[in-house]
Structure 1
Amino acid sequence: MGRAGAAVAVIGVSGWLIALCAFDIRQRRLPNMLTVPGAAVILAVAALAGHGRPAALGAAALFTVYATVHLLAPAAMGAGDVKLAIGLGALTGVFGVDAWVLAAVGASVLTGVLALCLRMAGAGATVPHGPSMCLSTAAVLALALPTQGV
């Protein structure tokens, strides 16, 4: 993928992540109309760019982690988060295991810190996990893309 194609991909992914965050913060859910097509596009583009295997492995691994949590404690993890894990796992999987782990762990840490801060402030509200997933992925991409020459 050339520089122009990479720029278009960065803009597209950024818009997708922003839309997901906004929707989850407002509605406290991640809609299929955003999660499923996003995952499909990421997997397709990764395959076309020759990164289909790491994208598929990243997607499968993060889906498995999130689906397991959802099945064991449905109140702790929504189905939208599980579906979002496919696209974000694929996206970070393209950049390697280190990027994948950093984004996965980062999302949990962000959500935990935010929940702790809200609790300490006396707010008992639940914290949507989607924005943390998106922010940690964006941070990892911001670190990884310059090393890829983008």
Structure 2
Amino acid sequence: MATLSVVDVRDRRLPNVLTLPGAVVILVVAAVCGRGLPALIGAAALGGAYLVVHLVAPAAMGAGDVKLALGLGALTAALGTEVWALAALGAPLVTVVWGVLARLRTVPHGPSMCLATTAAVALTCLP
């Protein structure tokens, strides 16, 4: 996730090589662990929501964010609905706060997605 974030901040894009293989690995591991269906649903739900935003306002949401949402949606949903919801709601919130604090009109969304996912997993999975 660190590499994704650095590339997105630096280049303002998330290459397929950094998003799609991870999504596939997460879906396969989730299936092997008996969490394939929730992971698939989570990937479709988050990826679908991001796709709608991308289609309505392409300047606001890049295609790389949509592809990253597949893997992060799968990961968080495999761990539970509450993890998925926390990450899904946290990512846009982090992006908005970052933009306001930095006084920027646009900020890359990938780092916020990674941070929100990491926080959601840590907060709900750690004792």
* TM above 0.5: yes
Return structure 1 stretches of 4+ with deviation > 3 angstroms. Answer: none
Q: Deviations over 1:5-49 (max 9, x none)?
A: xxxxxxxxxxxx111111111111101001000000000000011
Letter in 2 for 1:131: P
Q: Deviations over 1:90-136 (max 9, x none)?
A: 000012111111101100000001111122xxxx4520000000000
**Helix, strand or coil at the partner of 1:126:** coil
Q: Deviations over 1:65-86 (max 9, x none)?
A: 0000000000000000000000
Q: Unmatched 5+ residue regions in structure 2?
A: none
Q: Which of 65, 76, 79 is equivalent to 2:63? A: 79
User: What does 1:1-150 align with in structure 2 at a 5 Å threshold?
Assistant: 17-119=1-103, 124=104, 126-146=106-126
C-alpha separation in 2, matches of 1:31 and 1:44: 21
TM-score, normalised on structure 2? 0.96
Aligned residues: 127
Q: Which has the larger radius of gyration?
A: 1
Fraction of identical pairs, as percent: 59
**Helix, strand or coil at the partner of 1:76:** coil
TM-score, normalised on structure 1? 0.82
Letter in 1 for 2:29: V
Q: Unmatched 5+ residue regions in structure 1?
A: 1-16
